[in-house]
Chains A and B, each alone.
Chain A
Amino acid sequence: MRDLELRRVVITAIILAVFFGLGVGFVAYTQQKTADQIELNRQAVLLGQIMAVLGRETHDNNPAEDAFVLPDPQALNLGEPVLGPDAQIPQGPLSAEARERAMAAGQIGFRAREAGRVTAVAIPVVTHRGYSGDIRLLVGVDADLTLTGVRVIEQRETPGLGDKIEIEKTDWIRGFTGRRLGDPPIEDWAVKKDGGVFDQFTGATISPRAVVEAVEDTLLYVREHRRWLFDQSARDQREEPDDE
């Protein structure tokens, strides 16, 4: 009797294991078959978003290919620098592997250039102050520290309320284009409910407030790193010691 029970348990366990193996196998197979296409889609979406935030800038390069590792990524809530504390201000040409890691961590910006001169940068920024989870934005800033465009890359805000920050739902996010730190004055960089100049939505103040603050933070960040971001000679000077 005990023997029979044991056999039954073993057989049942084997059946369970076989089904789990099959399930995992199917998922793994599908994942492997779709991975390239998903990556292509992701790249296409990324390129579209970079073009959208750099929109107004004239450029003659492909900004998606002109990626650079961001200095001081904590200031943009992008986490600890993956290239280690020594790479706070990354110097010199990066190894492919280092670039990959920075890319995976999202600590990477994109440059628009005209005749080699940097005309605008696209900077990713994350805010933890969304209504549900982090909001990830891509912010385009030109050399005059004026916003060329802002897009939401990732959000999980309430459908129908907070998700109006997305360009697909409303035009709200276009309101940033052309703004700068002095316009409106820094104390007015807030939603109207907080005494600022930016609209909130009926029933949703938290999501637009988080976006307004994140965009302001990005402008402050770009102002602080302006020389490094836009001035090629400033970057070259820094890069020299590293080339030796």
Chain B
Amino acid sequence: MSEPRLSELALDGLWKNNPALVQVLGLCPLLAISNTTVNAIGLAVATLVTLVVSNGVVSMIRDWVRPEVRLPVYVMVIASVVTIIELIMNAYFHSLYNTLGIFIPLIVTNCIIIARAEGFASRHAVGFSVFDGFVMGAGFGLVLITLGGMRELIGFGTLLGGAEQLFGPVAADWGVRILPEQMTFMLALMPPGAFIGLGLLIAFKQAIDQRASRRARAAQTARSGEPVVDAVG
């Protein structure tokens, strides 16, 4: 079994195989919780922690799990991990729990977790699996936070509003108003706004990728000495 390179894993999780933009997994929490930046950050952190832990556990037990029953076992691992995280947060990080608590059960509905358990952690060593969980979580989280930022900016005209709920009193004045209230557009906060926003983000990523590959082709043809078609016309 060949182990992948860490840099490739990172590029995969963050861009090439981004869970939200390319695999389009985990849309339920992604669309539901991306209406403000602060909510998005909360869910992003919670998802990232769950992904890291569940990937680690699945990788640790991968040699003992028979292929026939691997899915029920993974489901059980994920459900246990999420429940334990919820209990520990409720007991020892109670104020954080009050803010993030509602997001935690949502993580179970995120199929990116079981997709990584099945597609990666069950075949790779613990270290790689944890790293994969981290970059996949980060890739999902960054899209979530970007979408949250877009929707909050258009829907409320603010960014990072209510940051003190997540970061404590020091963050009380982190929120900034960028657009006046009259210029806000409610649709962005509604479910359709989430779909439209995600669609735009996916299109944006495709546009960048296509441009990059056109450039690469052009550079290649230029190097090989053949005339570039565009230059003739």
Q: Do A and B come from one complex?
A: yes
Tell me the A residues contacting B by CB distance below 8 Å.
Answer: 11-12, 15-16, 19-20, 23-24, 26-27, 30-31, 33-34, 37-38, 41, 45, 156, 158-161, 168-169, 202-203
Count contacts on B: residues with CB < 8 A to the other chain.
35
Most B CB contacts (10 A, CB to CB) among A23, A33, A203 go to A23
Q: List 27 A-B contacts (CB under 8 A).
A: A15-B66, A15-B69, A16-B66, A19-B73, A20-B76, A23-B80, A24-B80, A27-B80, A27-B83, A27-B84, A27-B87, A30-B83, A30-B87, A30-B88, A34-B87, A34-B90, A38-B90, A41-B90, A45-B98, A159-B35, A159-B102, A160-B36, A160-B39, A160-B155, A168-B162, A168-B165, A203-B190
Task: Tell me the bound Cα distance from A23 to B76 in angstroms.
Answer: 7
Whether B94 lies near A159 (C-beta < 8 A) is no
- CB closest chain-A residue, reference B72: A16
Q: Give chain A nearest CB distance to B22 CB in angstroms.
A: 26
Instruction: Give the contacting residue for B33; candidates A11, A30, A31, A159; CB below 8 A.
Output: A159
- CB closest chain-A residue, reference B67: A12
Tell me if B77 counts as interface (CB < 8 A to partner A): yes
Q: Give chain B nearest CB distance to A28 CB in angstroms.
A: 10
Task: Tell me the bound Cα distance from A37 to B79 in angstroms.
Answer: 22
Most B CB contacts (10 A, CB to CB) among A16, A19, A159 go to A159
Q: Which residues of A contact B33 (CB under 8 A)?
A: 159
Whether A38 lies near B91 (C-beta < 8 A) is yes
Number of residue pairs A-B, CB distance < 8 angstroms: 75
- CB closest chain-B residue, reference A9: B68
With A23-B77, A168-B165: A34-B91 Cβ-Cβ less than 8 Å: yes
Q: Which residues of B contact A169 (CB under 8 A)?
A: 162, 165
Task: Tell me the bound Cα distance from A11 to B90 in angstroms.
Answer: 38
Task: Tell me the bound Cα distance from A19 to B76 in angstroms.
Answer: 8
As a 0/1 sequence over residues 138 to 171 of chain B, the CB contacts with chain A under 8 angstroms (1 = contact) are 0000000000000010011000001001000000
